[in-house]
Amino acid sequence: MPFEDEASRLRKLARNSSVTVWWTGHAEIERQKDAIAKIDVLNMLKRCWVSNVEDSGQEVAWRAEGKDIDGRRITAIVVVDEGDPPEIKIITTWAKSGG
């Protein structure tokens, strides 16, 4: 996988109980629109793959993909801060229709 280093770092952070995870307003709206439980996104991040990395010049966003508990494919765009304290900011999330 071309972004395996990022995926490994994200999975490690998502498994760390001291990491703060926060959701943008947009992420909350989109999560609710697609009926995605927060816990499904958090669990997906623990075993995700990263399919894209985009640098806007202000922050680097990673496209994390995986499945929810029912096997539905879900995607989250996240920004990772590995500082002290470490954070994961969820920019948006969505579910792929049709499984």
User: pLDDT, tens digit, for every residue of 28-57?
Assistant: 999 999 999 999 999 999 999 999 999 988
The three-state secondary structure class of 13 is helix
Chain centroid offset of residue 72 CA = 15
- pLDDT tens digits, one per residue of 67-76: 999 999 999 9
| pTM, two decimal places | 0.92
Cα 29 from chain centroid (whole Å): 15
From 21, 38, 46, select the one nearest 93 (Cα to Cα).
38
Number of domains forming the structure of the chain: 1
pLDDT at 1 (0 to 100): 55
Q: Tell which phi-psi region holds residue 98, choosing left (phi > 0), alpha (psi between -120 and 50) or beta.
A: left
Domain range for 29: 4-95
- Mean pLDDT, rounded, for 91-98: 88
